[in-house]
Amino acid sequence: MGQGFKVFQIIAIGVAFSRIWVGLHYPFDVVTGILNGVIIVLLTHYVLFKLKPITSLIKRLIFQGQG
């Protein structure tokens, strides 16, 4: 994870904090949104990189110029 990843983390934390600070969201809303995002990322990573049939299908479509 490089420098760009750290920049996005800082921006995400800043946005989350600003939503609470300005009073647009309750802290629970922000925490729930963060957990929602983490779960979606983990599930997407699992589906794309851990399931072999889907990975081979994606590679086949990309290398045949269809993706």
> Got the DSSP string for 22-42?
HTSS-HHHHHHHHHHHHHHHH
Report the pLDDT value the prediction gives residue 51, as an integer from 0 to 100: 72
> pLDDT tier at 33 (50, 70, 90 boundaries)?
very high
> pLDDT tier at 49 (50, 70, 90 boundaries)?
confident
Mean pLDDT, residues 5-31 taken together:
91
- The secondary structure of residue 67, as a DSSP letter, is -
